[in-house]
Every structure is written in C-alpha cells, then in structure tokens.
Amino acid sequence: MEISQLGEFGLIRRLTKDIECRQSSTLKGVGDDCAVIAPTDGEVTLVTTDLLMEGVHFDLIYTPLKHLGYKAVVVNLSDLYAMNATPRQLTVSLAIGKRFQVEDIDALYEGMRLACEKYGVDIVGGDTTASMTGLAISITAVGTARREDIVYRGGAKETDLICVSGNLGAAYMGLQLLEREKAVYLQQMKESGNNDMPFEPDFAGREYLLERQLKPEPRKDILEQLRQAGIRPTSMMDISDGLSSELLHICHEGQCGCRIYEERIPLDYQTAVAAEEFNMNVTTCALNGGEDYELLFTVPLSDREKAEALEDVKVIGYIAKKDQGKILVTRDGAEFDLKAQGWNPM
C-alpha cells in the first residue's frame, strides 16, 4: 500500500491504534497535541534523544526494518539505564522517503513496539514527515529516578575500580561481516547486470556477532544486580562510541586519570576469530568499535569483592590521579595513552 493512500494522520492512526499505556505516570498518550506525564513523588525526570539517519547510522541493504525499529528504541533506553534511571515513555518521529510502503513502516513500528513491551515503556507521541534523503528516525525517551540514585559521568575518584559488563567489539565485527557481504553482493550485481539477483550470504557460526550489531540489548539486568549487591557506582556510561572514548569522557568529567589492562578486557571467542579473519587487532576493535551498549562504570575500592562477584561484569582497571594519564597496559607490560578513535561527526 502506498503511504499516500493513508495520509499522515491515517498512517499515525494505523501505527498507534493498539498501543496501550502501562506506566501509571502516563496520563495521556497518543491522540492529542501533547502527551501528559505526571511527575512521580520523590523522583526527577530524565530525557534523552537519538537521531538515526539512513546511510549514516544504518544501511537497509542488510538491516531488516523490524530490527532497526527495535534497535532505535533500545539505544535510547541504554542512555537512561546508564544514568541509573528507569525508562517510562518515548516519542517517535519519522522522516520517510517515497520508496517506502505502508508495510515497511508497519515492520519498523513492530520492532519498536517489541522493545517497548520488553522494557515496559509507553510510546506517547511523535511526528511524521516526508524525506528527500531516505529514512530518518528520531526518538526521545523519558525516564525517572530518585535524585540521590542518579549516576553521572563525573563522579569517579582515585582508586575506584573500572568495570564493564558483557564483552566488547562484537557489534563492530558484526558490522564488518555485513559490510563485506554487501560488497560481494554489489560486485556480483555489477558483473551480472541483474539488480534483482538472489544472494545468500554465509553467516554460519557468526550469529552472535550479527545479533550484537542488529539487535543489541540495554543492560537493565546489570543495574538490578548492582542494587541487589548494595553497590552504587560513582560514575557510569553506556558504551556506544567505544570503550576508549567513553572512559576518556569519565576521566574528563571527573578530572582524573586511569589505568586499564588489555588482558582484562572481555572478548567473545567469535569476536577474536572474526578479527583474525579480517586481519584486525581484536583489542583495537574492543577499544574503538562501539555500538556494544554495555555499561562502563566505576565503583569504590571497598566494593571490590562485591563487584567481582557480579555476573557478566569484569574489573578492567582503576582510576588514577589526573597527572598519571589515561593508560592502557598491554599484555607484555607496555603502556600506551588511550585515544578516542570512535565515531566523530566532524
């Protein structure tokens, strides 16, 4: 079905007709000029926004629209979890090119709604418009937290332990696999002159890497573990632009230095195998790859035993004095300055 058959308001009604609000703080969701959200006693509101542009943040040659919708939501939720907040509501704005059909936007919204259902978040509004440059997705997410529970980037102190959840570099290697197969596909199309030729890439044994790139999950479970263990991080960020970049943010905001150890950086076996296949240094991929959406956080030294007992969390170093620099200690004991080599819009 052509989107023009429905019109803007018809499309909005189609996408939102079955949305049910689950949060008690949502007084009015989709259907009016504004959503109405009631403040919760003793809590403050946190807001985050992400803009995803076709050709910059995603490639629809290998990204299913349902997966894209899911990912567009969870990358926003990850920012709220990184502040130790609970996501409550979000708004969705879409800029849609002429080549998209109604069913395409249905698939995109299906992924968004799956993510919202999984993490208990209400879609409460948004906007749609036409686009001359493909698909653009802008999501604003709202969360709440008690003022005393919010964790900022700038709270790290000397001797604090540096921790990361999960493993790093897998999403980046998943992207490399997808880009390689895309290049093979485009070359075969060029040689054959057939723009509709079938193509079946072989990703056997690499499913984990693809999932990390196409369907990441925010680490709500880590916050629950921290609360149960009685640990309050002194600083925290999600890893969207790479471990090096995020750790340098923490050091900048906290006016401190750091030392992390290469041998302690958590890696998945598939990541290491793929890095070798692409002739890449796996540590470089883990430091600079980005899009892992794991949590990077610091905890007081007194919580060391509790931190080491957390499931799927690794202590990778410690916070140092500012004049001691931001250092990576390699497996052979050499020391290198950490540099941010992740994505840069400039």
The tens digit of pLDDT for each residue in 293-325 reads 999 999 999 999 999 999 999 999 999 999 999
Report the chain's mean pLDDT, rounded to a whole number.
92
Phi, psi of 124 (to 5 degrees): -120, 5
The tens digit of pLDDT for each residue in 242-261 reads 999 999 999 999 999 999 99
Phi, psi of 279 (to 5 degrees): 60, 45
Of 230, 212, 210, 228, which is closest to residue 220 (Cα–Cα)? Answer: 228
Question: Is residue 27 within 8 Å of 37, Cβ to Cβ?
Answer: yes
- Predicted confidence at residue 44, as pLDDT, reads 87
The tens digit of pLDDT for each residue in 128-178 reads 999 998 999 999 999 999 989 999 999 999 999 999 999 999 999 999 999
Question: Is residue 63 within 8 Å of 187, Cβ to Cβ?
Answer: no
Instruction: Classify domain 153-174+208-337 by CATH architecture.
Output: Alpha-Beta Complex (3.90)
What are the domain boundaries of the chain? 3-147, 153-174+208-337
Q: What would the mean pLDDT of 77-101 be, rounded to a whole number?
A: 96
- Predicted confidence at residue 20, as pLDDT, reads 84
- Predicted confidence at residue 89, as pLDDT, reads 95
**How many whole angstroms separate alpha carbon 233 and alpha carbon 216?**
23
- Predicted confidence at residue 346, as pLDDT, reads 37
Class of domain 3-147: alpha beta
